[in-house]
C-alpha cells in the first residue's frame, strides 16, 4: 500500500511511469483498480473510493495507491476518525463521541484502543518527521496520556509539512500520510 495525498497526481505518475516502487528501484505501472467501496464521511455523507493498483516492472509486486482520507480496512474517512480521537484525548467518552458522529460506540472504542496501543510508535514516527522538516521545532510538554502525546506529535508534524507545502492537504490527511496509512492498520513487524 502506498498512501497518496493527490490521487490525480498519482494517476499521472503511474501513467508516466515516474512513481518508484517502495520495495526496489523499479518503476510502477498501472495495474487496474482495487475494490470500490463506500466510506462514511463527515455528517454521514458517503464517499466512494476505488484505489488504483500498480505493479512494479522489476520485482512484479503489486501495490494499492490509497488516498490518505481512506484508512486501510475502515468504513469511515480520516476526517471522521481523527476528530473522534482528538475528542477522546481531550476527555470525551466514546459513547458521547459516537452519538456526535452517528457511528456505533463500539466502532469509536475500537479506534481509540487501536491508536492508543500504537501511540508510542506514532509519536516517534511523527517526531522524526517533524525534525526532518523543522529542525528547530520545540517539543511539546508530555501529558499523562500517550494518545494525547501522539496526537500532539502528529499535529506538529502536519504543521511542519504545511509550512513547507501550504497546499499539501487537510491536516488529518497529512496525519494519515505521516502515519504511512497505519494509524488504524496493523503495524508491520521489524
Give the dihedral of Cα atoms 175, 171, 162, 38; nearest 10 deg: 80
Q: Average pLDDT, stretch 15-34?
A: 93
C-alpha cell at 11: 494517476
Q: Which among 17-26, 134-143, 166-175, 181-190 has the top mean pLDDT? A: 17-26
155-180 pLDDT, tens digit each: 999 999 999 888 778 999 999 999 98
**Contact (CB, 8 A) for 68 and 5:** yes
pLDDT score at 109: 97
Tell me which residue of 125, 67, 78 sits closest to 101, measured CA to CA. Answer: 78
- pLDDT surpassing 90 at residue 188: no
pTM of the complete model: 0.87
Amino acid at each position: 500500500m502506498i498512501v497518496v495525498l493527490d490521487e490525480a497526481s498519482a494517476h499521472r505518475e503511474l501513467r508516466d511511469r515516474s512513481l518508484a516502487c517502495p520495495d526496489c528501484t523499479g518503476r510502477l505501472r498501472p495495474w487496474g483498480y482495487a475494490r470500490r467501496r463506500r466510506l462514511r464521511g463527515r455528517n454521514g455523507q458517503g464517499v466512494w473510493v476505488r484505489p488504483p493498483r500498480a505493479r512494479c516492472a522489476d520485482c512484479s509486486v503489486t501495490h494499492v495507491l490509497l488516498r490518505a482520507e481512506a484508512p486501510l480496512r475502515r468504513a469511515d474517512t480520516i476526517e471522521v476518525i481523527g476528530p473522534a480521537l482528538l475528542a477522546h484525548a481531550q476527555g470525551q467518552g466514546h459513547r458521547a463521541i459516537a452519538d456526535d458522529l452517528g457511528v456505533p460506540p463500539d466502532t469509536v472504542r475500537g479506534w481509540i484502543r487501536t491508536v492508543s496501543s500504537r501511540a508510542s510508535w506514532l509519536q516517534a514516527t511523527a517526531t522524526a518527521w517533524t525534525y526532518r522538516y523543522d529542525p528547530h521545532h520545540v517539543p511539546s510538554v508530555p501529558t499523562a496520556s500517550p494518545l494525547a502525546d501522539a496526537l500532539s506529535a502528529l499535529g506538529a508534524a502536519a504543521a511542519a509539512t504545511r509550512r513547507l507545502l501550504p497546499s499539501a492537504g487537510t491536516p488529518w490527511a497529512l496525519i494519515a500520510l505521516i502515519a504511512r496509512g497505519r494509524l488504524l492498520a496493523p503495524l508491520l513487524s521489524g
